[in-house]
Structure 1
Amino acid sequence: MNNSLLSMLPAHKLPAVETALQQTFGTPAIEAIELMTRGLSPALVYKIRVNGKDYILRLVMAINELADPAREYVCLHAAADAGIAPAVLYADAAAAISICAYIAGPPIWVGLPDKDIQLKSIAEKVKAIHALPLFPPLINFLEGVIVFRDRFLEMKMFPESATAEHFSYFDKIKAIYPINDELVSSHNDLNPANILYDGEKIWMIDWEAGFKNDRYVDLAVVALYFAANEQHIDTFLTAYFGAAPTALQKAKFYLMRQVVFLYYGTIFLRMAAEMKDVHDQDMKVPTLLDVKKMMSKNEVNLGSYEGKILYGKMLMQEALTEMQQPAFEASLALLN
């Protein structure tokens, strides 16, 4: 094994990585290694080259109730067998190490610039995920959001009054949303870093958050990152359902979208709080559309404190604005 690998990998993982390489390729030697910086997972992801070909080496660094390699690899294998995820060459839950095929290609918005084609292609892939045999369970998603909410509030970034209205609306959703009615195999984190395009087809990666969940979670996450307006949402949902969505389907999507805003909002704000102790208390920030435009111009870096707190505040603000609209109460009424 060359020095670059020895120097880049955590020392306590080296013996297990050597075993993985030996069993997979018949040699522990690699020709190149590069730490991949995309994504928000604490797992360490490397592109390695063995025998002239690139692969992805993924090391889970902390195993807990949310990050469980045993559950992750069940989801990963099922998705890979269906041609949704890249081929799995090695996956050892005890060692928390996996090796998968590497997917090369441009970002999906570059490879598939036509928005209708892009949304329809992603919808078909999400539909394929949801058609897989049910993934292992993890948590009632709405209960999970409460856990994230409480951990966020414990950090005391802002006075509780700053987000009290947000979470009072969430309580209304939780009280009525039929979270167990449409459980499917769900990825649960379909952000742009986890959707790859090789020039011919789309691949979904990073199955750490995969578990049996409400179908609208994946739909809402995709819409957060890829749908800029109502027309985009209609295109995406119509492609997913195979027909124009019903009023009930629209209502479930609308409500879960607000939950996803709050879920990711608390995550980004907590990550910001881990980087700095004092925070600007103003919760008013640019809108989702404005922030997306800023990101397209590389004016927002989600890896920085400034990017995380801006994005987190924006998501919280977006949820509150939407939940103050007549459509919110109308959607709740449809679920009664």
Structure 2
Amino acid sequence: MLDTDDGLERFGEMLRRLHAGPAFPVFMDGLQMIHGGVGALRGARFPIPELIETFLTRFEAVQAALRPHLTLAPCHNDLNPNNLLFDGARLWLIDWETACMGEPFLDLTTAMLWFDFPPAREELLLRAYWGAEPTAWQRARLELMRQVSRCFYAVVFLLLALQNGQQPPATLPRREELPSWSETRRALGTGTLAAQGVEYRFQLSLILARDGLEAMEQPEFARALQLLEMALPPG
């Protein structure tokens, strides 16, 4: 459904209605959930791969720049393809287990992460969501919030891989051996992570950390970081 312009526009409009709708219960924001997950890993003395440690260190600047700009809205918090259905007439979101008051930009970047839209499709989604061209401030927030989505799932996949006393694979792939997130998403298709083994979850965590580090090396990230560090949230 989201491979058509009409479907993607409907998805953007649906997210706008969700984020403007009645309040949900308050839980934790994305940054707090990441902090809790990393704390659980360190508290249990789980070995965190060097690539992910490097990403977490670089991620501290993202957190510091974003915190003054965070807002709360009713959010789904798990916008992946398996939670979006189309009955031939309308779109439906399912699996509301993690829904709470959250950061609406994180819902957007989580959807963009999991659906892996090409740039032109992302632009169509964002214009449908805001009803206008995104502002420089909105684009900067999105750029940094992409890192929150990557970091959140990198930590979640590592926690899932290490549950029940599991240990990391004896040999982890080197950074240059990892496929990109886009290649990984295409290979996964509509399959579920539950069908994958422990080593696959480790690899997903590494892939997201590697993609996050590469994004942080781009000029778009540096500009977004500087803008949010210097700007006050819009009145």
CA distance in 2, matches of 1:155, 1:126: 39
CA contact (8 A) 1:148 1:266 kept: yes
Please say if residues 51 and 210 of structure 2, whose CA atoms lie closer than 8 Å, have aligned partners that are also in contact: no
Q: RMSD of the TM alignment (CA)?
A: 2.2
Task: Name the count of aligned residue pairs.
Answer: 223
Match runs of 1:55-70 below 5 Å: none
Q: Which residue of 12, 15, 27 maps to 1:138?
A: 27
Separation in structure 1 between the aligned mates of residue 14 and residue 151 of structure 2, nearest angstrom: 25
Whether 1:296 aligns to 2:189 is yes
Partner of 1:156: 46
Q: Structure 1's 242 and 113: CA in aligned 2 closer, same or farther, altered over 3 A?
A: closer
**Aligned counterpart, 1:267:** 156
Measured after TM superposition, the shift of residue 132 of structure 1 is 0.8
SS of 2:74's equivalent in the other structure is strand
Aligned residue number for residue 144 of structure 2: 255
Cα distance, 1:178 vs structure 2? 3.7
Q: Which residue of 1 aligns with 2:233?
A: none
Unaligned runs of 5+ in 2: 231-235
Number of the residue aligned with 2:121: 232
For residue 202 of structure 1, report the CA deviation from its aligned partner. Answer: 0.7
Does residue 1:199 correspond to 2:88, yes or no?
A: yes
Identity of aligned residues (%): 28
Instruction: Answer whether contact 2:51 2:209 (CA < 8 A) is retained.
Output: no
Contact (CA 8 Å) 1:134, 1:185: kept in 2 or not? yes
Q: Of residues 286, 289, 294 in structure 1, which corresponds to 2:179?
A: 286
Q: Identify the structure with the greater helix proportion.
A: 2
- Unpaired segments ≥5 residues, structure 1: 1-111
- 2:97 equivalent in structure 1: 208
SS in 2 for 1:212: strand
* Paired residues of 1:142 and 1:179 also in contact (CA < 8 A): no
- For the structure 1 residues 248 and 114, does the alpha-carbon distance in structure 2 shift closer, same or farther, using more than 3 Å as the test? same
- Quote the residue 1:314 is aligned against: 207
Q: 1:152 to 1:319 in 2, by over 3 A?
A: farther
Could you tell me how far apart the structure 1 residues matched to 2:221 and 2:53 are? Answer: 17
1:194-224 superposed Cα distances (whole Å, 9 cap, x missing partner): 1111111111112121111111010011101
The correspondence of residues 1-336 of structure 1 with structure 2, limited to 5 A, is 112=1, 114-153=3-42, 154-159=44-49, 161-178=50-67, 181-274=70-163, 276-279=166-169, 280-284=171-175, 285-296=178-189, 302-305=194-197, 306-335=199-228, 336=230
User: Hey, what's the Cα distance between the residues in 1 that align with 2:2 and 2:14?
Assistant: 17
Alignment match, 1:43: none
- 1:74 is matched with none
Distance (whole Å) between structure 2 residues aligned to residue 283 and residue 151 of structure 1: 25
TM-score (normalizing by structure 1): 0.61
Greater percentage in strand: 1
Shift in CA distance, 177/301, structure 1 to aligned 2, threshold 3 Å: closer
Residues 13-62 of structure 1, C-alpha deviation per residue, up to 9 Å, x if partnerless? xxxxxxxxxxxxxxxxxxxxxxxxxxxxxxxxxxxxxxxxxxxxxxxxxx
The residue identity in structure 1 corresponding to 2:125 is F
- CA distance change for structure 1 residues 130 and 307 in 2, over 3 Å: closer, same or farther? same
Aligned mates of 1:264, 1:155 — CA distance in 2: 19
Partner of 2:14: helix, strand, or coil?
Answer: helix
Q: Is the 8 A contact 2:82 2:190 kept in 1?
A: no
Give the whole-Å Cα distance in 1 for the aligned partners of 2:34 and 2:190: 31
Opposite residue 173 of structure 2, the aligned amino acid is D
